[in-house]
Structure 1
Amino acid sequence: MKIPVVDFSSWYNTQDESSRQRVAHELVEACREVGFVCIVNHSLSETILNAAFDWMRRFFELSDEEKMQAPHPEGWAVHRGYSWPGLEKVSQTMSSGNDDEARKKLREVPDVKEIYDIGSEENAAQPNQWIPKETLPGFQAFMVRFYWECNKVGSEILRALATGLDLEDECYLTKRHSGYNNQLRLLHYLPVPAEDLEKERTARCPAHTDWSSITMLFQDDCGGLEVEDVSRPGIFVPSAPLKNSIVLNVGDLLQRWSNDRLRSTNHRVRLPQLSDRFEGPHRMTRERYSIPYFMSPDPDMVIECIPSCMSEGNPAKYKPITQAEYNKMRASMMY
């Protein structure tokens, strides 16, 4: 299995509808077959992407004391602020109501990464946890701007997906994504002995699907992202970094919306594939930086089957559910 590459430049050519249709259907086909697609020639500039990675590195270079000026709030309900190594544990486990033992079991192999989560300033239910402006001047202002720049690109992708799904209204999905419930995540995977990952004493990010509608991922050149081969369950293939591209994947909510026409595929972060990604006699993995941006509908938005994805012979497979209800089932097991 290979990750398809879609050139998004023609989508912006509003004078040539056939080119837009071609891009939209290539995008949907990739999301149907693999669930992952590498998008090139999108509208997010190289300049702002380079700046985002620079600000992220500067943040994670702060002292622990400085980063802890904006700690992730206790519990799962607010998904913002700084998460120190070991706080979060990614899993596919849904909450069942009696989760203490399950949480303990999950954390026997800790995830060795630190995270900073950011959302919309207007989302009162998910208040941002900012470090003081004087700790890293300019950081907050840039990240607020970057959040909305990512939303613009994500909205274009949602319009293309709606077109590729043969919906009459190109804005069918964007109408359900105001942008105020998205999540910008800064991720720093710490150096760790390769043997610890190989023998599963620690993990970077275990296999999982995303809770969002779509995820846009920006990554450095370290590598390590792997996607499950849809034709060979349990076999994962690397998604090689491609400079300035967006690695797009379908999230659980869009799979539900599309009645399984689009695929939310398992993925994970493991060891890089190349030996030059290790350093020193103990084969220390290089640190890795990535920025996923999760596009999610508003909390009270009901996820129910898209009209073009069901028929008399293919009825809706999922009961309607709100984003807030689905989020609770997943988030309560993570922290």
Structure 2
Amino acid sequence: MVASLSHGQARDRVADIPVIDLAPYMSGEPGALPHAAKELREALETIGFFIIINHGVPRELIAQTFAEAKRFHAQPMDVKTALRMNEHNNGYMAMGRYAVWTSDVNDNDKPDLNEAFFLRRERQPNDPLLQSGRLYVGPNRWPENLDGFRERVLQYTDAMDELSRQLMPICATALDLPPDYFDAAFAESQFTFRLSHYPPVAAEVNQFGIAPHTDANFLTFLAQTDVPGLQVRMPDGTWQDVPYIPDSYAVNSGDMMHRWTNGRFKSTPHRAVPPVGSDRYAIPFFLGPHIDTLIECLPTCQGPGRPPRFEPMTYDAYLHWWYKANYDASLQDDLDDTAGD
């Protein structure tokens, strides 16, 4: 069953973060595309966060994926560390080993209080990118003792990849571009999927579930749960909990969107605080374009008095810098020494 909540109902429950009802657009109603694009443009120019409802991803599939996250992290530590993160940053990352050290939002000097399992697009053995040996294009690491885990997780990432492609005409229209402008860049997106576990542990001063940061990618989709944790920094500088709406996604733009739009669309700081009293699980889907996409100022985001602010660079180049600086897989090399801790 897919979420069915009217825009008015959701708007009554959210004071500051826009809610975009995708039902008219998904059903092809006349005028729905420019209307949704206007809402997205206003959200990303002012806050950088919005919530989508009636998105078409089945409720049962979302619940199943949360269950898989819980099942993975319930395994013994030595089983998880056997899948330690590889050089492509796919696999298991233990708690307390990383943070976004390059953040210009906060002086992040303590590691984050969550553990996570990462994967990217699953590629066939004859895939040219997989065969190239380049970083961040695979292979994924999969547990051998969790029957159905791989199949269920890939079912979810397929659904999210499809949802992201459906939203590309909205993003393009919001930027006064032809609706199909981003289609080629996202035909084979470079996404990262993360199954995270936040235990209810005490944080030290200036320590977080995830420390304040901006995302490196284009758009992030976070299926919402009733366990709070995600906070967004509002335009006035205050931190606000992202309100919970059942069967919705919290969506934010990242650094690639910010660079591509010449700063027109925000890459908004956010963080996660450790939960209180119960474990929190999160399944964020980080969407980026094809790894070789050149990110350069869009034609509608520059002009007289508004020159390009950022040097053109490929998404691949940005990922190399960002992952090496923040999620260095070599920091997981000694996990066998601590598996019993």
**TM-score normalised by structure 1 residue count:** 0.85
**How does 1:43-82 map onto structure 2 within 5 Å?**
43-73=56-86, 77-82=87-92
Letter in 1 for 2:316: A
- CA offset digits 1:78-105 (Å, max 9, x no partner): 12101111222223349xxxxxxxxxx9
Asked if the contact 1:85–1:113 (Cα under 8 Å) also holds between the matched residues in 2, the reply is yes
Letter in 1 for 2:60: T
Asked if the contact 1:179–1:295 (Cα under 8 Å) also holds between the matched residues in 2, the reply is no
Task: Count how many residue pairs are aligned between Structure 1 and Structure 2.
Answer: 300
Q: Does 1:219 align with 2:228?
A: no
- CA offset digits 1:221-258 (Å, max 9, x no partner): 1112111112x23x211112222111110010011111
Q: Compared with structure 1, are the counterparts of its residues 172 and 269 closer, same or farther at alpha carbon in structure 2 (3 Å cutoff)? A: same
For residue 100 of structure 1, what is the aligned residue in structure 2?
none
Alpha-carbon distance, 1:53 to partner: 0.7
For residue 29 of structure 1, what is the aligned residue in structure 2?
42
2: distance between equivalents of 1:189 and 1:59?
13
The DSSP-based 3-state class of the residue aligned with 1:185 is strand
Letter in 2 for 1:129: R
Q: Compared with structure 1, are the counterparts of its residues 116 and 271 closer, same or farther at alpha carbon in structure 2 (3 Å cutoff)? A: closer
Q: Identify the match of residue 151 of structure 1 among 152, 161, 168.
A: 161
- CA offset digits 1:12-59 (Å, max 9, x no partner): 23241x122111111111111100001111011111111111111111
1: distance between equivalents of 2:98 and 2:119?
15
Q: Does 1:315 align with 2:276?
A: no
For residue 324 of structure 1, what is the aligned residue in structure 2?
316
Asked if the contact 2:199–2:274 (Cα under 8 Å) also holds between the matched residues in 1, the reply is no
For residue 3 of structure 1, what is the aligned residue in structure 2?
17
For residue 205 of structure 1, what is the aligned residue in structure 2?
210
1: distance between equivalents of 2:175 and 2:310?
18
For residue 174 of structure 1, what is the aligned residue in structure 2?
183
Asked if the contact 1:13–1:20 (Cα under 8 Å) also holds between the matched residues in 2, the reply is no
Asked if the contact 1:215–1:295 (Cα under 8 Å) also holds between the matched residues in 2, the reply is yes
Q: Percent identity?
A: 28
Q: Does 1:160 align with 2:170?
A: yes
Q: Does 1:255 align with 2:258?
A: yes
2: distance between equivalents of 1:93 and 1:55?
30
Q: Compared with structure 1, are the counterparts of its residues 179 and 186 closer, same or farther at alpha carbon in structure 2 (3 Å cutoff)? A: farther
2: distance between equivalents of 1:240 and 1:13?
26
Unaligned runs of 5+ in 1: 95-104, 273-277, 280-285
For residue 102 of structure 1, what is the aligned residue in structure 2?
none
Asked if the contact 2:165–2:187 (Cα under 8 Å) also holds between the matched residues in 1, the reply is no
Asked if the contact 2:189–2:287 (Cα under 8 Å) also holds between the matched residues in 1, the reply is no
For residue 137 of structure 1, what is the aligned residue in structure 2?
147
Q: Does 1:90 align with 2:100?
A: yes
2: distance between equivalents of 1:21 and 1:64?
49
Alpha-carbon distance, 1:143 to partner: 1.1
Runs of 4+ in 1 over 4 A off after TM superposition: none
Asked if the contact 1:92–1:209 (Cα under 8 Å) also holds between the matched residues in 2, the reply is no
Asked if the contact 2:103–2:212 (Cα under 8 Å) also holds between the matched residues in 1, the reply is no
For residue 139 of structure 2, what is the aligned residue in structure 1?
127
Alpha-carbon distance, 1:145 to partner: 1.6
The DSSP-based 3-state class of the residue aligned with 2:51 is strand
The DSSP-based 3-state class of the residue aligned with 2:102 is coil
1: distance between equivalents of 2:266 and 2:35?
20
1: distance between equivalents of 2:32 and 2:193?
31
